[in-house]
A and B are shown apart, each in its own frame.
Chain A
Amino acid sequence: MRYLMLLSGTNPATPPPPALYEAIMKLGGEATEAGVLLDTAGLLPSAAGARVGLADGKVTVTDGPFTESKELISYALYDVRSREEAIEWASRFVKLHRDLWPGWAGQTDILQVMGPGGGG
Chain B
Amino acid sequence: MDNYEATRSAIEAVWRIESPRLIAGLARITGDVGAAEELAQDALVIALEQWPVQGVPDGPGAWLMATAKHRAVDLVRRRARYDRKLQEVGRDMEAQAQTLGEPDVDKMDDHIGDDLLRLIFIACHPILSTGARAALTLRLIGGLTTSEIARAFLVPEPTIAQRIVRAKRALAEAKIPFEIPARGELTGRLRSVLEVIYLVFNEGYSATSGADWTRPELCAEALRLGRVLAGLMPRQIEVHGLVALMELQASRIGARTGPGGEPVLLSDQDRRRWDRLLIRHGLAALDRAEQLGGAPGPYVLQAEIAACHARAASVNDTDWERIAALYVVLAHLTPSPVVELNRAVAVGMAYGPGKGLAIADTLTGEPALAGYVQLPAVRGDLLARLGRPDEARAEFTRAAALTSNERERALFRARAAECRPAGSQDTDP
Is residue B96 within 8 Å, beta carbon to beta carbon, of the partner chain? no
1/0 contact string of B83-127 vs chain A (CB within 8 Å): 000000000000000000000000000000100000000000000
1/0 contact string of A15-29 vs chain B (CB within 8 Å): 000000000000000
If over half of B's interface residues share one DSSP class (helix, strand or loop), that class is named, otherwise mixed; here it is: helix
Is residue A57 within 8 Å, beta carbon to beta carbon, of the partner chain? no
- Cα separation A84 to B226 with both chains bound (whole Å): 22
Is residue B181 within 8 Å, beta carbon to beta carbon, of the partner chain? no
Question: Are B254 and A33 interface neighbours, CB within 8 A?
Answer: no
Count residues on chain A whose CB falls below 8 Å from chain B CBs. Answer: 22
1/0 contact string of B1-42 vs chain A (CB within 8 Å): 000000001101110110000000000000000000000000
> Which residues on the A side are within 8 Å of B231 (C-beta)?
32-33, 35
> Which residues on the A side are within 8 Å of B60 (C-beta)?
88
Question: Are B254 and A116 interface neighbours, CB within 8 A?
Answer: yes
Question: Are A34 and B217 interface neighbours, CB within 8 A?
Answer: no
Question: Are A34 and B277 interface neighbours, CB within 8 A?
Answer: no
CB distance from A119 to the nearest CB of B (A): 11
Is residue B80 within 8 Å, beta carbon to beta carbon, of the partner chain? no
Question: Are A36 and B281 interface neighbours, CB within 8 A?
Answer: no
- State the total of A-B contacts with C-beta under 8 angstroms: 64
Is residue B345 within 8 Å, beta carbon to beta carbon, of the partner chain? no
- Cα separation A34 to B116 with both chains bound (whole Å): 11
Is residue B225 within 8 Å, beta carbon to beta carbon, of the partner chain? yes
Query: Which residues between 215 and 242 of chain B lie within 8 Å of chain A, taking CB atoms?
Result: 216-217, 220-221, 223-228, 231-232
Question: Are A117 and B217 interface neighbours, CB within 8 A?
Answer: yes
**Quick check: which of A44-52, A65-73, A74-82, A104-112 contacts chain B, the rest being far away?**
A74-82
Q: A38-B277, A84-B13 are in contact. List 8 more A-B contacts (CB 8 A).
A: A35-B228, A35-B231, A81-B221, A82-B16, A116-B253, A117-B217, A117-B220, A118-B217
